[in-house]
Amino acid sequence: MEEFAVEDTAQLMEAASDFAYYPGVQNDASAKEFLDRFPLPVIINALQSKADVRNLEETLVACLERIFGTKYGASLIPQYMSFVKVGLLADSQIVRCLACKTVSFLLENADKSTSIASRLVIEYDIYQLLLDCLINGNEQVAAASMDAIKNLATYPRGMDIIFPANGDEVTQLRNLASHCSSLGRVRVLALIVKLFSISSSVASTIFNSNLLSLLEEEIHNTNDMLMTLSVLELLYELVEIPHATGFLSRTTLLQILISMIGNISVQPILRSRAIMISGRILSKENTFMVIHESAIKAAVSAISGRLESLKDQDTDECETALEALGQIGLSLQGAELLLSNSSCVAKHVVDVAFDHNGRTKQLAALHSLGNIVGESRPDESIILNDEAEESLRHLINETASKSLKLTPSGLLLSVLQQDAEIRLAAYRLITGLVARSWCLIEICSKQEIIKIVIDPHIETKKKGMEARYNCCRAIHKYLSTANKLVSDPVLAGIASKLQEAVRRGPYLALERAEAQLVVVTAERF
């Protein structure tokens, strides 16, 4: 095809720029209208012409991306697969990125009941080129290629392409990772995590292909700190996937993390990430069903051991350990384990929560204790078993008796009298604690606490207002259901004040101000 004349290129550039950077949505009609004026071969020819026109490549790439992003544009992609292939091989990173995105547009819009899209991927050897973009492209190209491969995995034939029966094939992800640079290996692992997130069946294929062992191998090798840290970040993403816990329980990943936590020669930043990831794994609802009890106890012991050794330090690792224990305490079984007499890990959390020496770790401890006492759990799961409940009461009473406050209500008032962030955490803690009658009585015995939780003006930020309101509502709810307590005239008065505060709602409740007449003197010139 002959090159455009200079004036034609200028006309195309102006139209392409308007289309690409139009602030609204470009639909099928606008894409068709544009292509009626400038057919795809014309745009592609101009893109390949290497014409010395300022911003030519960037503008045409942006224009094509918006065209292919419409259903009409995507329907034309099968006719131009040879150009897509050329784009995947291009020296230009933005052209390669466009080609990867074009493959995604094709796969997202094709009919999955037919094999047209996956057949085109095979026919033009697209998957191999996407892998090359993943390994050798810049960050944007690698991300776009991952998205395209993830889309391919949603096709039955796509799974056969990505996970070939012949394990010796060069496209097999394990083989690919073994011949990559460290950056390439991280990208392959990131792809595995992305694919793992698609569904439980894809995750099962990945597990059966022994690809999770690649994560184990990289995390186990702590000689390259940056590489290990990158893989730990990927593992954190992995454990956030709802169906991941069952598969992770059949690997040694948790054992490796426990080993890292207890190894003082490991860099603190790596230990912190290992602590955080372990906490996330143990916070899942099905943890206690799929992970062996001994492994759970070993992880909790490792985290609490680090916290014990750091209790006099206000460090990131100490804060992370507190947060991890709070994550574990989100579930009923996790909270009961933390409060069991055999370990009583929660003692460390309680000690720090009411220790004013170290604001950041105190804040983390208060939030963690709020999780343990059930602030985030459903009503029916707040109260723990008898052993755990007795342990909780003993810990708080013991801490109070050793402090200048002497009583649990004194302890709670002391944290409510601190800054806004600490106060928010204290509201959460009280919201969970007042489900226990002993604590409800303590709270109601302290008029200063009631004054704070019913004060609509004390908090100025939305989160603080909502936390105060939730706390006020919880106290009112449990006090209202305790008939014996409400029969007391003093408590009945408190219940009335709480009811009025609940009625006002969570946000700043200023009385409506009357319009005031303002008189000012006239300006003189």
Q: Can you tell me whether residue 298 is helix, strand or coil?
A: helix
Place of tokens 């991927």: 121
Total Cβ atoms within 10 A of residue 497: 16
pLDDT tens digits along 405-426? 788 999 999 999 999 999 999 9
Joined tokens for residue 62: 């942006």
CA distances to 48, 361, 457, 512, 520 from 515, in Å: 69, 48, 22, 9, 16
Burial label, 100 (beta-carbon count in 10 A; 0-12, 13-18, 19+): buried
Joined tokens for residue 128: 């191999």
pLDDT tens digits along 346-358? 998 999 999 877 8
pLDDT tens digits along 224-276? 888 999 999 999 999 999 999 999 989 999 999 999 998 888 888 999 999 99
pLDDT at position 404 is 79
Contacts with 396 (C-beta within 8 Å, 6 or more apart), sequence order: 350, 408, 411, 439
Residue 411 identity: L
The answer to whether 353 and 371 have CB atoms below 8 angstroms apart is no
pLDDT at position 402 is 87
pLDDT at position 510 is 47
Domain boundaries, the chain: 404-505
> How much is the average pLDDT of 197-209?
94
Round the average pLDDT of the chain to a whole number and report it: 88
Gap between the Cα atoms of 53 and 215, Å rounded: 47
The structure's pTM equals: 0.85
pLDDT tens digits along 130-160? 999 999 999 999 999 999 999 999 998 889 9
Gap between the Cα atoms of 460 and 498, Å rounded: 20
